[in-house]
């Protein structure tokens, strides 16, 4: 018998957090308003062509202005060369007489951070892909499925709040230190280093605001840490589990009887806290996956990618996701959603065994 106790959600104002993230993102990425609009359209709709971008903008963006910002011109930086966008795939026009191709542009991690100036993270397609990968995580789902529905929803909401506050902390750190991110060259590598070394993700207390270093940071920095601590504590789950049976003797001098008493222990689990590795992995392409992750990641990433984008486009995505994400020589095998896999394994464990009858045994002896 397991019982779970979950902390109540921390008091946070996500609308306020979104506004703070938007302000910092605008300040840290020095790109013009039309470039931000391009990133915002892709963030909400998924990878798009130049034509689709122009059409979705209600013609506020001409194809020429979009082309200039994707490829760069004079004082306008290239969103492609500066790693805000990546080429997701190509498709050919139906006309045989032309060699032109449709090119679909999607967000990189750097483009995601810049798009936060206009779009809340939960509305960005790459964030939806990241959350979808959790459907395939056995460790994550085994933890959540032990909870009741109400507790499970509460923990999940606290987890999403924690992610937003972590993103706010990341941007605030660079703003406090005057570090503009416009020309950041290797965003995936840097994002990983930041949460491993500069601010370890598991930190509950601020590792930088101590002694001499404390004077470097503003009161806002300290407030973010207070909010982060509250949300982290609210994400924790306490499990009660049986430890041992103890014999207890009771009765009068004439009659004595024994019964067993079940003693419980408790253990606090951090809950779904470690999100940065999975999130970072969602922005990798086939060569980076092959170098960094081997063959463990692509199945889940491809399934999540196709699920989210097929829904956004209300049709099958026109480019080949496997060419973008699957390392050479890798055979794609659709993964099973963790909840379904758990149900299948549970059904197999509790499947009644077939009883052998005497006639069956005798007939086998005769054979």
Q: Give the domain extent around 254.
A: 240-269
Q: Assign 279 a pLDDT band (cuts: 50, 70, 90).
A: very high
Q: Are residues 290 and 152 in the same domain?
A: no
- Residue 316 in any domain: the answer is yes
Q: Are residues 163 and 14 in the same domain?
A: yes
Q: What is the pLDDT of residue 111?
A: 98
Token pair listed for 199: 């601010």
Q: Are residues 147 and 57 in the same domain?
A: yes
218: left (phi over 0), alpha (psi -120 to 50) or beta: beta
> CA nearest 233: which of 145, 165, 139, 136?
165
As a whole number of angstroms, the distance between CA 231 and CA 223 comes to 13
Q: Are residues 176 and 62 in the same domain?
A: yes
pLDDT in tens, 20-35: 999 999 999 999 999 9
Flag whether pLDDT at 214 surpasses 50: yes
The enclosing H or E element of 290 equals: helix 286-292
As a whole number of angstroms, the distance between CA 366 and CA 328 comes to 56
Of 281 and 152, the one with more pLDDT: 281
Q: Are residues 101 and 198 in the same domain?
A: yes
- Which of 260, 276, 292 is at the close of a domain? 276
Of 271 and 196, the one with more pLDDT: 196
Q: What is the pLDDT of residue 327?
A: 79
Token pair listed for 73: 């011109």
Q: What is the pLDDT of residue 63?
A: 93
Check residue 79 and report its DSSP letter: T
Which of 127-141, 169-183, 267-281 is the least confident region? 267-281
- Residue 131 in any domain: the answer is yes
Of 158 and 144, the one with more pLDDT: 158
Q: Are residues 248 and 289 in the same domain?
A: no
- Residue 354 in any domain: the answer is no
Check residue 183 and report its DSSP letter: T
- Residue 31 in any domain: the answer is yes
Mean of pLDDT values over 225-249:
71
Polymer length in residues for the chain:
367
Q: Are residues 264 and 331 in the same domain?
A: no
Q: Are residues 115 and 21 in the same domain?
A: yes
Which of 45-54, 110-119, 127-136, 148-157 is the least confident region? 148-157
As a whole number of angstroms, the distance between CA 159 and CA 164 comes to 9
Residue 152: Cβ-neighbour burial (10 angstroms; 0-12, 13-18, 19+): middle
Total domains, the chain: 3
Give the Å distances, CA to CA, from 237 to 50, 54, 92: 47, 48, 52
Residue 318: Cβ-neighbour burial (10 angstroms; 0-12, 13-18, 19+): middle
Q: Assign 77 a pLDDT band (cuts: 50, 70, 90).
A: very high
Token pair listed for 262: 């079940």
- Residue 46 in any domain: the answer is yes
Burial pattern 194-209, b for ≥16 Cβ within 10 A else e, equals: bbeeebeeeeeebeee
Q: Are residues 146 and 44 in the same domain?
A: yes
- Residue 349 in any domain: the answer is no
Q: Which of 266-270, 277-281, 361-365 has the highest mean pLDDT?
A: 277-281
- Which of 276, 302, 325 is at the close of a domain? 276
Residue with tokens 């041992």: 244
Flag whether pLDDT at 7 surpasses 50: no
Mean pLDDT of the chain: 80
Q: Are residues 254 and 210 in the same domain?
A: no
Contacts 24+ apart (CB under 8 A), 200-204: 201/166, 201/273, 201/274, 201/276, 202/270, 202/273, 202/274, 204/229, 204/232
**What is the Cα 47 distance to its own chain's centre?**
18
- Residue 367 in any domain: the answer is no
- Residue 29 in any domain: the answer is yes
Flag whether pLDDT at 271 surpasses 80: no
Pairing between β-strand 85-92 and β-strand 3-6 as defined by DSSP bridges: unpaired
As a whole number of angstroms, the distance between CA 124 and CA 46 comes to 8
Query: Do residues 178 and 30 lie in contact, with contact meaning Cβ atoms separated by under 8 Å?
Result: no
Mean of pLDDT values over 322-340:
77
Q: Are residues 120 and 49 in the same domain?
A: yes
Q: What is the pLDDT of residue 315?
A: 81
| pTM (two decimals) | 0.80
Q: Are residues 162 and 299 in the same domain?
A: no
Q: What is the pLDDT of residue 232?
A: 85
């Amino acid at each position: 018998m397991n019982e779970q106790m979950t902390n109540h959600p921390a008091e946070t104002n996500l609308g306020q957090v979104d506004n703070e993230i938007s302000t910092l993102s605008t300040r840290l990425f020095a790109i013009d308003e039309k470039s931000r609009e391009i990133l915002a359209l892709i963030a909400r709709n998924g990878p798009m062509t130049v034509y689709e971008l122009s059409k979705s903008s209600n013609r506020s963006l001409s194809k020429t202005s979009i082309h200039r910002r994707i490829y760069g011109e004079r004082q306008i930086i290239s969103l492609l060369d500066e790693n805000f966008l990546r080429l997701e795939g190509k498709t050919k026009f139906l006309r045989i007489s032309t060699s032109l191709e449709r090119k679909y542009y999607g967000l990189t991690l750097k483009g995601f951070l810049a798009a936060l100036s206009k779009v809340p993270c939960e509305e960005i397609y790459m964030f939806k892909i990241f959350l979808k990968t959790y459907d395939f995580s056995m460790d994550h789902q085994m933890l959540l499925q032990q909870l009741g529905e109400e507790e499970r929803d509460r923990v999940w909401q606290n987890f999403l709040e924690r992610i937003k506050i972590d993103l706010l902390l990341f941007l605030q750190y660079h703003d406090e230190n005057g570090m503009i991110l416009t020309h950041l060259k290797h965003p995936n590598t840097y994002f990983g280093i930041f949460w491993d070394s500069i601010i370890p993700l598991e930190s509950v207390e601020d590792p930088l605001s101590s002694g001499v270093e404390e004077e470097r940071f503003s009161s806002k920095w300290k407030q973010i840490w207070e909010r982060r601590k509250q949300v982290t504590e609210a994400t924790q789950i306490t499990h009660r589990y049986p430890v041992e049976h103890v014999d207890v003797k009771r009765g009068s001098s004439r009659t004595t009887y024994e019964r067993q008493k079940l003693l419980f222990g408790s253990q606090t689990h951090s809950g779904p806290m470690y999100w940065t590795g999975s999130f970072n992995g969602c922005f990798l392409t086939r060569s980076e996956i092959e170098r960094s992750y081997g063959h463990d990641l692509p199945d889940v990433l491809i399934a999540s990618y196709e699920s989210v984008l097929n829904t956004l486009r209300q049709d099958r995505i026109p480019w080949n996701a496997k060419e973008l994400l699957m390392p050479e020589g890798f055979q794609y095998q659709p993964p099973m959603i963790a909840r379904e896999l758990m149900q299948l394994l549970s059904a197999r464990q509790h499947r009644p065994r077939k009883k052998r009858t005497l006639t069956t045994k005798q007939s086998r002896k005769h054979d």
